[in-house]
Amino acid sequence: MQETGAQSIYFAPLEGITGYIFRNAYNEIYGNVDKYFAPFISPTGRSSMTPRDRRDLDPDNNTGMNLIPQILTCDASLFIMAAGELQDMGYKEIDLNLGCPSGTVCAKGKGAGFLPETAKLRSFLDGIYAFSENAGIKISVKTRLGYYDPEEFFDLIEIFNAYPISELIVHPRIRGDFYKGEIRREYFAYAIEHAVCPLIYNGDIYTPQDLEDLSSYFKTPLSPVMLGRGLITDPSLASKIKGISKDTDMARFKEFHDTIYHEYQKVMSPDINVLYKMKELWSYWSSMFSDNSRDIKKLLKAKKYADYESCVYSLLGHL
C-alpha cells in the first residue's frame, strides 16, 4: 500500500459505459482522476481488437489522460499479441482482467473463470511476465477473491506474489457475488498483510465517508483507490474525496450530461441507440433525482430525442 499524503484515484473500467466519449467528457469537466482503465478487449486468433475497440483506445481519442488498456484472455499468446499491438500504439502499462463474472466469459475460462485453474494460471503468468520484462511494459492485475470460495484467495495471493505485478487491484468479492452483497473486507485485510506488490482496493465506495470507513477498518490510507459505480453515480465524488469540492454542482453535471449526449449523437444513430446509452447512465444518475421519479420514469421510456430532451429539460434546464 502506497503511503503518500495525496489521495490518488483510479477510474474503474465499466464496459458499455466508460468508453472514450464518457472518459473525455469526464476528464474535461470533472478531472481529478489519476488513471483511467479502459473496458476490456478480448483478443481472438484473428485480431487483437475490434474496430470499435481500436477507436476506443486510439491515443488521439484519449489525449490528456493516463489511460490503461485492459485485456481479457486465458491464452498467453493472445495476450502477448494484443499487448504488443497496444505497446506499438504507445501504451506502457496494461491490465489483465481476472474478475469478470459474466457467464459467457467465465464459461470460456476467462475473467473470474480463470481463477480456479491455478496450474494454467501460473503458466499463463509465466508467459506474459516473461514477455513484459523483455518488452519493458508493465502489467497490472484486476482480480476477485476467487471463483467458488473466498478462501481461494490465499493460494491466489501466493501465486501473484511470484510475479512482478505492477499493481494488484482487488475487488473483494467472489464470482457468484457479481457486484452485490457485503464486501468481504477481511480478505482484503489479508492481502494488505501478504501481497508483495502494490495493492489497490476496489468496491462499493459511493461517498468520501465510505472511503474513510474502509481506511479506518484497514488501518491504512487506501491510496491509490479504484472507484467505479460511485464515480458514475456522483461524478463529483473524486473532487469531494480530494477535498476540492463539497457539493454536487448541477451546472457542471448538466454540462457533463450535454457533452456526452451530443458526442454520442455525432457517432451513433438513430435516436434509440443514443438514448439506450444515455438511459444506462441515468440508471446511475437517477439517485441524484429521487424527488423527480416521475420525470426519470418518463425519461427511461423515451424513444425520440424530443421526448428525452423534454424530460432532461424539466430535470436540469435547457439543453
Ligand X SMILES: Cc1cc2nc3c(=O)[nH]c(=O)nc-3n(C[C@H](O)[C@H](O)[C@H](O)COP(=O)(O)O)c2cc1C
Across the strands, what pairs with 170?
A: 143, 201
Q: Which of the ranges 14-22, 73-81, 160-168, 207-215 carries the binding residues for ligand X, by CB under 6 A?
A: 14-22
CA separation for the pair 297, 44 (Å, rounded)? 40
SS3 133: helix
Binding mask 107-146 for ligand X (x = CB under 6 A): -----------------------------------x----
CA separation for the pair 263, 199 (Å, rounded)? 35
Q: Which is nearer to ligand X, 116 or 203 (CB)?
A: 203
Residues 183-242 that bind ligand X (CB under 6 A): 202-205, 227-230
Q: Which is nearer to ligand X, 160 or 305 (CB)?
A: 160
Q: Is 175 in the site for ligand X (CB under 6 A)?
A: no
Q: What are the residues whose beta carbons fall under 8 Å from the beta carbon of 13, sequence distance 6 or more? A: 37, 38, 39, 40, 70, 95, 228
Q: Which of the ranges 94-102, 126-134, 248-256, 282-290 carries the binding residues for ligand X, by CB under 6 A?
A: 94-102
Residues 262-301 that bind ligand X (CB under 6 A): none
CA separation for the pair 259, 97 (Å, rounded)? 30
- The correct pick among 20, 22, 23, 39 for binding ligand X (CB under 6 A) is 39
Q: How far is the CB of 12 from ligand X (least distance, A)?
A: 3
DSSP E strand stretches across the chain: 9-11, 35-41, 67-71, 93-98, 138-143, 168-170, 199-202, 225-227
Residue with the shortest CB distance to ligand X: 228
Query: And the C-alpha cell for 104?
Result: 459467457
Q: What are the residues whose beta carbons fall under 8 Å from the beta carbon of 44, sequence distance 6 or more? A: 78
Query: And the C-alpha cell for 288?
Result: 441524484
Q: How far is the CB of 101 from ligand X (least distance, A)?
A: 9
Provide the binding-site residues for ligand X, judged by CB under 6 A: 12-17, 39-40, 70, 97, 99-100, 142, 171, 179, 202-205, 227-230
